[in-house]
Amino acid sequence: MHASPRLRWCVSASLGALSLVAGAASADDAIGPYENFKWVTVQIDSPESLLAVSQLGESLACQAGPGPVDFVIEPDAMEALEALGVPYVLRSNNIQHEIDEETRANELARAERGQDFFATYRTIGEIWTYLDTLAALDTVPNPPGHIIEKFNTGDSVQGRNIYGLRIATPTPLGAPPKPVFLISATQHAREWAAGSSAMWIADRLCREYGIDPVVTQLLDNVDFHIIPIVNPDGYNHTFPTAQGGGNTRLWRKNRRLNSGGSFGVDLNRNWSVGWGLNGGSSTSQTSDTYRGTAAFSEPEAAAVSDYALTLSPLKAHIDIHTYSQLVLGPWGYTTTAPPRTSELNPLAAAMVSAIESVNGTNWTGGQASTTLYVASGVAPDWTFQTMNALSWTFELRDTGTFGFTLPASQIVPAATEAWAGIVALAQHIQVRLRLNLSGPPSSLALSTPANFGVSITTENQYTLQADSANLMWREGDSGAYNEVPLTGGPTNFTATLPAFGCGRTINYFVQATANDGLIVRTPTSNDLSASTPACPGCLGDANGDMNIDFKDITTILSHWGMSGAAPFDGDADYNGVVDFQDITIALGAWGGGCG
């Protein structure tokens, strides 16, 4: 199938409804529900032409705009399309043929390659069973210390469990917990290569600890939690009837029965951060981007988010989708730039180049809302905002040749690409340096520098960049930090806050740079703060800003007026009038400040 890389494939729920009708009308199971539906690419040049073509079928683009747009046209509507006079290319006279072809190829692969789990796309039952197979591997004593646990995050609308796999190694007693990496996939039912890739990554982590040095190093330092099929009902619905499915290959949403009688909520519009904002989702129950009645109205999104909340410290999250070969970062719900761009941007670039280097495919990275389109209520926005995790959407292979129906022969190539991106991110979140502060002050003696101890230890073969350890401080919550190099070393350092006057609150943290250039700071997000004693009350400080200056005069003059019976406090020269001469005298007598 061909589509522009930026074109999104969003077969709508009403196609599902049409297909149900078509399916019901057919007694013969060999005739699929898309029998005689046409697949055309129409050149859209105006809202009018979009509207007119939309009457004849369903757009496959979530947000169709000017340019080529793919449509599934109803079997008897081709003459009407012709009559519109809009340019179009007929891609398939019977879209069911493409789907049948895919089914045949999958069955062939299944038969030919026998036991290989990744030779073909697997049913939901096969996937859950395979998680048991992988979980059973952790009883193997060699290599020791490999933890594989199957977990259940909760139940779907139709009551299916939503399973995942935790793959980790034990953390020594007393050591801080390892950073956690969450991989979720297949919120969208038809995106089969997302689920197979998540399973392939799980398989590799389970089987190659102690064998593949990359896997060993990652698992010694990072805990992985992988939820391969977030939408088990929808996923099952995309499988052929013969495999227990609903025979609707291009289904996207979950299987919620909406109040109007249609099915499905888009799980990737149902998360609470940005939910319903900026036109990035639909209120129409039949839309493929229907957001649901409320944030987390859907048990699948709620279960996975509740599970994510138990992960500590969650440092990274990748939500796997197909297709378009994109790495999409926060925000999805707004075109406003996210925080942490200095961390997000180079990481996205590192993931893109790691992925591209596997097979030479071309990928693009960027902010989701500007690189693709605004979508609100998406999972990575939630983990980024709520849990401060570094979060992206991966849109795997391809760029439209096959689209959602990626041949089974590409299961492993697609997965190895996803793996390369995950490894790049996992290496980033690994611990490099540990900075321990001893006795960082919260109160400071007046006009006296304050020292505290900092120990810096290295982990995972990283080293400390020379002269990179600094105390960073500033007054208040904005503006540049002042940098004070730590003294001593190589492990135990001294940090020194300079002397400050009264009534000052100083925010500070300590940072150091690892040999690969990554800056590590303690505390990781919020600053520490320390204050000097409050200033003594000053008679001249009429506005209480801890400085005696002309502003105080204004306060005094407005309080007393410019005339009155002497003596007044403000009448410094006792001439019976409060005026600017008094200020000069006052400042001369008292000095310029309190501190």
Task: Find the catalytic residue in 74, 298, 300, 395.
Answer: 395
Phi, psi for 427 (deg, rounded to 5): -65, -35
**Look-up: residue for tokens 């096969």?**
126
- Active-site residue flag, 395: yes
Contact range with Zn ion by CB under 5 A, out of 256-264, 321-329, 399-407, 415-423: 321-329
Q: How far is the CB of 8 from Zn ion (least distance, A)?
A: 9
7 binds, among ligand 0X9, Zn ion, none (CB under 5 to 8 A by kind): none
Q: How far is the CB of 224 from ligand 0X9 (least distance, A)?
A: 22
Assign 180 to helix, strand or coil: strand
Question: How far is the C-alpha of 58 from the C-alpha of 318, rounded, in Å?
Answer: 30
Among the listed residues 321, 397, 432, 504, the single contact to Zn ion using CB under 5 A: 321
Q: What angle do helix axes 550-560 and 580-590 make, rounded to 10 degrees?
A: 130
Q: How far is the CB of 4 from ligand 0X9 (least distance, A)?
A: 13
Question: How far is the C-alpha of 98 from the C-alpha of 330, rounded, in Å?
Answer: 35
C-beta closer to ligand 0X9: residue 268 or 399? 268
Where in 391-420 is the site for ligand 0X9 (CB under 6 A)?
A: 393, 395
Q: What angle do helix axes 341-359 and 411-429 make, rounded to 10 degrees?
A: 150
Q: Which of 475, 189, 519 is nearest to 346 (CA)?
A: 519
CB 32 within 8 A of CB 20: no
Instruction: For residue 277, state whether it binds ligand 0X9 (rule: CB under 6 A).
Output: no
Contact range with ligand 0X9 by CB under 6 A, out of 52-60, 118-126, 128-136, 374-382: 374-382
Cα distances (angstroms) measured from residue 350 to each of 57, 176, 376, 473: 41, 27, 26, 31
Q: How far is the CB of 289 from ligand 0X9 (least distance, A)?
A: 7
Instruction: For residue 373, state whether it binds ligand 0X9 (rule: CB under 6 A).
Output: yes
Among the listed residues 56, 229, 368, 469, the single contact to ligand 0X9 using CB under 6 A: 368
Q: Which residues 6+ apart lie within 8 Å of 394 measured at CB?
A: 318, 319, 320, 321, 326, 327, 328, 418, 421
57 binds, among Zn ion, ligand 0X9, none (CB under 5 to 8 A by kind): none
Q: Which of 296, 247, 297, 306 is nearest to 271 (CA)?
A: 296
Q: Which of 166, 272, 286 is nearest to 219 (CA)?
A: 166
Instruction: For residue 188, state whether it binds Zn ion (rule: CB under 5 A).
Output: yes
C-beta closer to ligand 0X9: residue 278 or 458? 278
Q: How far is the CB of 331 from Zn ion (least distance, A)?
A: 17
| Residue 266: DSSP 8-state | -
User: Mask: binding to ligand 0X9, 42-71, rule CB under 6 A, as x and -?
Assistant: --------------------x---------
C-beta closer to ligand 0X9: residue 223 or 266? 266
Q: How far is the CB of 188 from Zn ion (least distance, A)?
A: 3
CB 367 within 8 A of CB 433: no
Contact range with ligand 0X9 by CB under 6 A, out of 92-100, 161-169, 371-379, 566-574: 371-379
Question: How far is the C-alpha of 461 from the C-alpha of 278, rounded, in Å?
Answer: 46
Catalytic residues: 395
Which spans of this chain sit near ligand 0X9 (rule: CB under 6 A)? Answer: 8, 62, 188, 191, 268, 321, 328, 332, 368-369, 372-375, 378, 393, 395
